[in-house]
Amino acid sequence: MSPLLSVRDLRVSFGGVKAADGVDLDIHPHEVVAVVGPNGSGKTTFLNLCTGYISPQRGAITFNGESIARLSPRAITRRGIARAFQIPQLFTGHSLLENVMLAVAARHGIWTARRPLAHGSTREEAREMLALLALAELADQPTASLPEGQRKLADIAIALALKPRLLLLDEPTSGVSTAEKSALMDTIVTVLRAEKVTALFVEHDMNVVERYADRVLVWDAGRVVVGGAPAEVLRSAMVLERVIGIA
Amino acid sequence: MRLGHILFLAVVAALAPLVLPWLGFVLTLAVGKGLAALGVALLLRAGLISIGHALYLAIGAYATAFLMQGGVTSDLVLLLAAATVITTASGLLVGLFMVRYRAIFFAMLNLAVSMVFFTALSKLYHLTGGSDGLRVATPTLLGVELDRATFDSVLNLGALVLMVGAALIVDRYLKSPLGEALSAVETNEVRLEYLGVPARGVILVAYATSAALAGLGGAITAVAIGHVVPELSYWTLSGQLVLIAVLGGIGGAPGAFIGAFFLELVRTFATGIAADAWNAIIGIALLIVIFFLPEGLYGIVQRLGRPRPAA
């Protein structure tokens, strides 16, 4: 099966810091891949490169057979890559339902004033997405008043409402209590599987990685140092020492 | 916005001249300013303050004068339509540059462009009449010549019809995906881009629409007064438009017109008491709105119309 996302010799540096130093990787359709690594190893930079927030100085990023390395975030979004952020990016002046409806409308084409945003099919689709993520009861709440775990889910609901082929999640469980992490990830991964969305998520909690990822990529100093099944990779001496911090 | 709110405002404004005939002229000018302030309010939805929007009011007014003097048309309907189209095109052109900027830079650039236009109107004497301005003769209405008094009454009613129409169109726009995206620009432009929506494009549509509204307001002002002067693009008028928008409230289209009626009526009646009393009254009203009524005067109407929660 040909990869959905293919990255070759990706390089970018900020001053003397190499945030991506020859990254090579493939993500295949329907995989859920975790990215782990110490702080500053280039994980979020990689997401920024894949979503057009920054452009690589060298290398290739191919999505679904098309080069996306120099495209803008919105052009990349339109091609089927959506993103959820470490700090949820919501429209705080709108309700949760309106946030998701805006995403649904963005997918259908925003350039219309012929019908209201809360048009029947848009509203229905948004409500269905909220129901999938167990947020239906909060639909009319202003997003600014939501607790962190639900703000994370709301951010993911917005991204999923775009019906992406690839979803990039930056630390979906950060800022969420240990007790809530499993419930949050259960919900996310169930929806990803149901919607057949390929996903790549940055994560610091190795229990989450081991439980939910099909594959893990270990990042260090701007490159992938090892990758494979979580059960094997997370027990290797090098990963224990450099990533988890057990000598 | 409820249709009843804007209709009520229009009916009251249409009936007022029956009691005080000279109010018709004042209210026609208020509609002109209200349309321009509605344009300013539209941009405020995206968190963008334009302190140069009198530029478009002046473009609409001068376009009307040029069209008449050039013999292109002297029909009221065609004049209003053509002035609106010309102003929309101007808004699109200037907007292509403006949409790149935010916050104070957006505000100051609008001010700068309007002041350049003011200077051009003042100095290009042979073309614009300089500080004397240009005369605008009484237009015909669908080919019919009317005496001035009849024309003023027709213009007053026509302006109120346009006010209702503009309010309905803007209300529909603000509730549409495009209008909601405009509000989203203020709270999270990054997320908007990550939805695949170009924020600059969303702002450009709003900017051109706001220019069109101001241009229509300028054309109404030109034919109502029968004269256009460079002061129509002066920064104090731009400031007044922002004041009207904030005073009236940006929660719905009627707000701009309520603010414009309030300002014009206070100015008219207060001037009879003391020369500059209206400045103080408007200043105090603005302070009250800022401290106690952040949703503006229209916010009071909206609050009254909201169902009370069950005890």
* Inter-chain CB proximity A103 and B178 less than 8 Å: no
Which pLDDT score, from 0 to 100, does residue B250 have?
Answer: 86
Residue in B90, B92, B252, B93 with CA at minimum distance from that of residue B173: B252
Q: Do the domain assignments include residue A61?
A: yes
* Region of poorest pLDDT, from A83-92, A171-180, A216-225: A171-180
Share of chain A above pLDDT 90, in %: 64
Where a domain ends, among A113, A129, A163? Answer: A163
**What is the per-residue pLDDT across B152-161, written as a single tens digit (0 to 9) for each?**
999 999 999 9
Tell me if A179 is assigned to some domain.
Answer: yes
The ipTM of this complex is: 0.90
Indicate if A126 and A154 belong to the same structural domain: yes
The answer to whether B178 faces chain A, any CB pair under 8 Å, is: yes
List own/partner pairs for A229-236 with CB under 8 A and 24 or more apart: A230/A34, A234/A206, A234/A209, A234/A210
Q: Which of B194, B197, B204 to mutate to test the interface with A (most CBs of A within 10 A)?
A: B194
Q: What is the mean pLDDT of chain A?
A: 90
Is the domain of A71 the same as that of A116?
no
Q: A-chain residues within 8 Å CB-CB of B45?
A: none
Residue A69 lies in a domain: yes
Residue of A nearest to B189 (CA): A91
Look at B291 and A106; give whichever has higher pLDDT: A106
User: If pLDDT is split at 50, 70 and 90, which confidence band does A39 have?
Assistant: confident
Mean pLDDT for A3-17 is 91
CATH number at residue A13: 3.40.50.300
A174 shares a domain with A58: yes
Q: How far is A232 from chain B (nearest CA, A)?
A: 35
Q: Which domain holds residue A194?
A: 1-80+164-247
Q: Which of A130, A145, A163 is the last residue of a domain?
A: A163
Mean of pLDDT values over B256-273:
87
Least confident of A50-59, A127-136, B261-270: B261-270
Residue A85 lies in a domain: no
CA distance B45 to A245: 49
Segment B21-49, tens digit of pLDDT: 889 999 999 999 999 999 999 999 999 99
Q: Which residue has the higher pLDDT, B223 or B20?
A: B223
Q: What is the rounded CA–CA span in Å between residue B283 and residue B273?
A: 16
- Same domain for A212 and A100: no
A176 plus A68 within the same structural domain? yes
Domain boundary among A163, A187, A220: A163
**A183-192, A210-219, B299-308, range with the lowest pLDDT:** B299-308
The whole-number pLDDT of residue B49 equals 96
Most confident stretch, A204-218, B79-93, B262-276: B79-93
Residue A108 belongs to what H/E stretch?
helix A96-108
A110 touches chain B (CB under 8 A): yes
**Mean pLDDT score of chain B:** 92
Query: In terms of domains, do A65 and A126 share one?
Result: no
Residue recorded with tokens 């679904």? A64
Question: pLDDT (tens digit, 9 = 90+) per residue, B185-202?
Answer: 999 999 999 999 999 999
Whether residue A191 sits in one domain with residue A140: no
Determine how many CB atoms are found less than 10 A away from the CB of residue B66: 18
Judge whether A220 lies within some domain. Answer: yes
> What pLDDT band is residue B311 in, cutting at 50, 70 and 90?
low
> Which pLDDT belongs to residue A169?
94
Q: Each residue of A110-165: pLDDT tens digit?
A: 887 778 888 889 999 999 999 988 899 999 999 988 988 889 999 999 999 999 99
Domain co-membership, A126 together with A202: no
pLDDT of residue B36: 97
Same domain, A74 and A123: no
pLDDT of residue B308: 65
Most trustworthy range by pLDDT among A40-44, A76-80, B287-291: A76-80
A149 and A56 in a single domain? The answer is: no
Q: Would residue A108 count as lying in a domain?
A: yes
Is residue B300 over pLDDT 60? yes
Based on the fold, state whether residues A76 and A168 are members of the same structural domain. Answer: yes
Check pLDDT > 90 for residue B278. no
Say if the Cβ atoms of B197 and A51 lie within 8 Å: no
Q: Is residue A74 part of a domain?
A: yes
**Within this chain, do residues A95 and A74 fall inside the same structural domain, yes or no?**
no
- Average pLDDT on B109-117 reads 96
Closest partner CB to B193 (pick from A74, A112, A158): A74
- Does residue A247 register a pLDDT over 60? no
Distance from CA of A118 to the nearest CA of B (A): 8
Condensed to tens digits (0 to 9), the pLDDT of residues A62-75 reads 999 999 999 999 99
* Distance from C-alpha of A123 to C-alpha of A110, rounded to nearest angstrom: 14
DSSP string, chain B: --HHHHHHHHHHHHHHHHHSTTHHHHHHHHHHHHHHHHHHHHHHTTT---S-THHHHHHHHHHHHHHHHTTS--BHHHHHHHHHHHHHHHHHHHHHHHTT--HHHHHHHHHHHHHHHHHHHHH-HHHH-GGG-EE-PPPBBTTB---HHHHHHHHHHHHHHHHHHHHHHHHHHHHSHHHHHHHHHHH-HHHHHTTT--HHHHHHHHHHHHHHHHHHHHHHHHHHHTEE-GGGGSHHHHHHHHHHHHHH-SSSTHHHHHHHHHHHHHHHHHHTT-TTHHHHHHHHHHHHHHHH-TTHHHHHHHHHHSPPPP-
Q: If you average pLDDT over residues A5-27, what whole number do you get?
A: 91
Q: What is the domain count for chain A?
A: 2
In chain B, which among 24-43 make CB contacts under 8 A with chain A? none
Whether chain B has a CB inside 8 Å of the CB on A163: the answer is no
Q: Tell whether A120 lies on the interface with B, counting CB pairs under 8 A.
A: no
